[in-house]
Amino acid sequence: MAKKIQGLSALPLGGVGEIGMNMMVYECDGSMILVDVGVSFPDHFAPGTDLVLPDISYVRDNIKKLKAIFITHAHEDHVGALPYLWDDMPVPVYATPFTSSVIEHKKRDLGLGKEFKLKTVDMGDTIEVGPFTVEYVPVTHSVPEASSLFIKTPHGNIVHTGDYRFDDRPVFGGKSAEARFKEIGEEGVLAMFGDSTNIFTEGALKTESDVADSLDSLLGGMKNRVYFCTFASNFGRVLKMADIAMNHGRKVCLMGRSMHRMLECVRESGLIDQKTVNMFVSSEEASAMPDHKVLVILTGTQGESRAALNRMSGGQTVGGMTMKPKDVVIMSSKMIPGNERPILNMMNRLTKLGARVIHEKSDFVHCSGHGSQKDIAKMYNLVRPQVAIPVHGEYQHLKAHAEFAKKCGVFEQFIIMNGQKIILGPDQPEVDKTEYRYGRNYVDGMNILDDDVFIVAERRRMAQEGILSLSLVVDKEDGKVISGPHLKSKGLIDERLQDDLIDQAENEVLDILSKRLSRADMTNAKQVEDVMSSSVRRTFMRERGKKPTVIPQVILV
């Protein structure tokens, strides 16, 4: 009989040492739960891919231990990977009504995860799963029904804060449950896994109501068509801006699939009624209205290539509307690190079209949904954990958070990264020295690719070095060259201006073949292709300092 595994541990597979792709594995006495299953977005290291998913090899290897998945809120970096990975994790998924609706819509859109065991919970609900008892505790964030999790185990209690802030004037949803957090602190908390996103921000943050007041003032002085751009998930701000627009005599148009999907999700979860849904007009109706009578709400603040705002910045007509001189664009969001260049390019294009672009650097049009140092200190004051474990941030965030936790009087702090397990009980907390597998997988059209597999690595090389195709026709009987070699390049040189280099490379291939291979060898297509590839790579390295990807083809006739 196998010995029962005793103890409590946590292993991040995403979101710790990076921004986004949040996923935490908690294990207790041989049982496992997951908190959040998020995505990130590809950078230049994964050209052509659509999304980045956490590598869940550890979960697959221990799938019999997995009992449930708990989702803290509906942002992509906390829930976006779930439909793609569901077949590997067929256990109940717990989420609040709004988050459940978002998951259901995502699942239907992708045609994935048809057998979801999705279980809807309300704030304050407690779920017992094996040795875990998990309570949903409401917090304020930039999406409806965000929650922290209070996780009770035989070896000690955990608070997983999720994304949170303390806001006395939320425009949509309730306040963070300070009284409940205080009770949890009095009950005793072994460890708090706390959001580190805004650890470098001192003092109190402006609130959503402050943003609303600023937007009201801005819109009141405008007579032109206004495009209000924000994340679709920040629907509290969307509804507030719609309210403001109607108070100024404007009709409101939601543009884009994600905005309409989010509207349906908040309606399905009972956060708004059908009367509110009916107040919006279609893009066809909006395009026919006088400019000062309409406000268009759309997504695309991060310069996403397919988003409506980005397409309009290129002069395209979207939903019957084209960006005109003197139109106003309000970008109500923060530039996510890494997205700066596409965003600035889009803003430049809009400005060249004659639009006035308002953004967080020019006017007060955005506030964060993540708490500042003041909020973080307040959470530590309420929860009073024995151990602080910073999450949701890059290493600099985690380090600063650990130092701040010490100032807040937390007895012990641990900095862990993705793939590092911390043992919390039954003995004194310590970091496991074992290196656990973690990493990135890529959604690539209809496929999910492992990190650094041939496909992604080859794309990187092609993007950096260019690509050459090289063909040769050979007589299969006597090995005589009938035609070629014929060389074509992509992303390497301009063949119209540098045809002399093409000729040189082709001649060098013929010369090397004649010197290295006999007529008999020339009938071995694989051997000929290898020699051709090495020859042409050597030519371009010498002449252009590049080692292109070469696609050789020998045709025996």
Q: What is the mean pLDDT of each run of 10 residues along the chain (557 residues)?
A: 72 94 96 94 66 89 95 94 85 94 85 74 96 97 94 97 92 89 97 96 88 94 93 88 93 91 88 81 92 93 87 92 95 82 93 95 92 96 98 96 97 96 94 90 71 67 77 86 85 75 85 84 86 86 83 86
pLDDT of amino acid 415: 97
Quote the pTM value: 0.84
* Domain boundaries of the chain, sorted by first residue: 9-203+368-426, 208-358, 454-556
Calculate the CA 80 to chain-centre distance.
Answer: 8
> In this structure, which topology does domain 208-358 adopt according to CATH?
Rossmann fold (3.40.50)
Give per-residue pLDDT as tens, 309-331.
Answer: 999 999 999 989 999 999 999 99
Paired tokens of 99 = 């988050």
| Torsion from C-alpha of 523, 529, 532, 535, nearest 10 degrees | -130
- On whether the 9-203+368-426 domain is CATH 3.60.15.10, my answer is yes
Sign of the CA dihedral with 341 first, then 344, 346, and 348 last = negative
- Comparing C-alpha atoms, which of 440, 517, 441, 427 is closest to residue 472? 517
Give yes or no for a contact between 289 and 297, defined as CB atoms under 8 angstroms apart. Answer: no
Paired tokens of 205 = 């943050």
Q: Do domains 9-203+368-426 and 208-358 have the same CATH topology?
A: no
User: What's domain 454-556's architecture?
Assistant: Roll (3.10)
Can you give 358-392 as a three-state secondary structure string?
Answer: ECCCCCCCCCCCCCCHHHHHHHHHHHCCCEEEEEC
Give per-residue pLDDT as tens, 331-367.
Answer: 999 887 667 888 999 999 999 999 999 999 899 999 9
pLDDT of amino acid 79: 93
Beta-carbon contacts of 280 under 8 Å, excluding residues fewer than 6 positions away, are 242, 252, 253, 254, 263
